[in-house]
């Protein structure tokens, strides 16, 4: 009899890839879109294995049920396993996880975020689409000679170090158990966190999520960083205190941030939530539903026709008298300006949409957090 697998949190791409691989093994796989939780655990009845992802709730109660149903193995399709109660599972049910993702994919993606933020790639693309070919506001800086600080020095960080070494950057690294031989080979300076914070132009997070590293980026650590620092997080969302990050961006102490993760992403990421209101207040502030915000200031001459053509009727314009943070979460794929102390002015078409009480939805655009000028947001009436 074939081994039975209950495959939770399934998407079409999962089924395609696993079906192709399973052709060589012949396992009986039942795919479920639901996350594993106490509510959905009955779906595992009769299965030998449950296969879960990052958003599963595999606590003691769920494990108790899995043992009761005769499940012998919990297989995670991810490297992290903090969502599994290992104490409850010990001696009762085996737990396995992915030992590592492709370190090259993650490291290269981290570099892509750095370059996109530094060279204002997303802003340049949006301007070009609007027929704006000005160079103002698109100036970045040479990576060569700048200082990058890596928190964590595992497989991914080592690949990233090799790439940034080729850029000619000064590389600082913090790790509880650093590889000094590797560090010497690539000129990495192993330092304490305070030194890393004080000297880094870019800080990239590559450490595991533990009680000690949770919210390692917070108001206290941000205060120690260089003004205008760029923060990159391709690790775990809870490494950053989002409220403190927003405040750092609002005050311009943090110049930009590229996030692949969010600390409360479970209810939103990996799903299409475009037709639903975001109930997470912090995430909503990151994504900034600008059409519902009142302008804090008005244009100096609101009745005077601008010499610059206004955006199309389906466009909302968020404008500020000074550079304001633009928030970007790459997995969420939206672009918007921070709701904090941001002067917002809507063109007449957007105002009519707002006054009519109809909802406005942003089209997907790559998202970053960057001190910016005027940001144009595509919108459509639902």
| 291/297 Cα distance (integer angstroms) | 15
Choosing from 57, 263, 265, 373, the catalytic residue is 265
Q: DSSP of 79-116, one letter per residue?
A: S--TTB-HHHHTTTSEEE--S---HHHHHHHHHHHHHH
Rounded CA separation 83/33 (Å): 18
Look at residue 160 and give its three-state secondary structure.
helix
> Is residue 254 within a helix (H) or strand (E), and if so which, with residue range?
strand 254-259
Handedness of CA 117, 368, 228, 323 (dihedral sign): positive
Under 8 Å between Cβ of 127 and 107:
no
d(CA 326, CA 323): 9
**Marked catalytic residue, from 57, 236, 263, 373:** 236
3-state secondary structure of 317: strand
Alpha-carbon distance 112 to 273, whole Å?
A: 26
Provide the phi-psi class of 46: left if phi over 0, else alpha when psi is between -120 and 50, else beta: left
Q: Is 212 a residue of the active site?
A: no
236 catalytic residue (yes or no): yes
Any idea which residues carry the catalytic annotation? 236, 265
């Amino acid at each position: 009899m074939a081994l039975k697998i209950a495959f939770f949190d399934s998407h079409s791409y999962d089924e395609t890839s696993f079906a192709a691989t399973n052709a060589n093994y012949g396992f009986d796989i039942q795919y479920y879109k639901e996350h594993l939780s106490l509510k959905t655990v009955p779906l595992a009845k009769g299965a030998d294995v449950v296969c879960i992802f990052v958003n599963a709730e595999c606590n003691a109660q769920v494990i108790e049920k899995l043992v009761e149903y005769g499940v012998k193995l919990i297989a995670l399709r991810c490297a992290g396993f903090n969502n599994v109660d290992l104490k409850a599972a010990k001696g009762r049910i085996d737990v396995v996880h992915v030992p590592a993702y492709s370190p090259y994919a993650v490291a290269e993606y981290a570099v892509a975020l750095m370059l996109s933020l530094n060279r204002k790639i997303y802003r340049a693309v949006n301007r070009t689409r609007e027929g704006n070919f000005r160079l103002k506001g698109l100036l970045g800086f040479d990576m060569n000679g700048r200082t990058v600080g890596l928190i964590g020095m595992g497989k991914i960080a080592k690949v990233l170090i090799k790439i940034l070494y080729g850029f000619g950057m000064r590389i600082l690294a913090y790790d509880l158990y650093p590889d000094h031989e590797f560090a010497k080979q690539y000129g990495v300076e192993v330092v304490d966190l305070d030194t890393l914070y004080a000297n880094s132009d870019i800080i990239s997070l590559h450490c595991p999520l533990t009680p000690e590293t949770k919210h390692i980026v917070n108001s206290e650590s941000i205060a120690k960083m260089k003004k205008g620092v760029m923060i990159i997080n391709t690790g775990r969302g809870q490494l950053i205190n989002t409220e403190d990050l927003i405040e750092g961006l609002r005050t311009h102490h943090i110049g930009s941030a590229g996030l692949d993760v969010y600390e409360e992403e479970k209810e939103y990421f990996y799903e299409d939530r475009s037709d639903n209101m975001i109930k997470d207040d912090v995430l909503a502030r990151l994504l900034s539903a600008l059409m519902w915000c009142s302008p804090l200031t008005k244009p100096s001459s609101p009745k005077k026709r601008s010499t610059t053509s206004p955006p199309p009727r389906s466009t909302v314009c968020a404008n500020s008298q000074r550079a304001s943070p633009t928030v970007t979460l790459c997995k969420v794929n939206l672009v918007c300006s921070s709701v904090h102390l941001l002067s917002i002015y809507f063109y007449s078409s957007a105002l009519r949409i707002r006054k009519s009480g109809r909802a406005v939805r942003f089209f997907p655009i790559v998202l970053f957090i960057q001190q910016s000028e005027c940001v144009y947001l595509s919108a459509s009436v639902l």
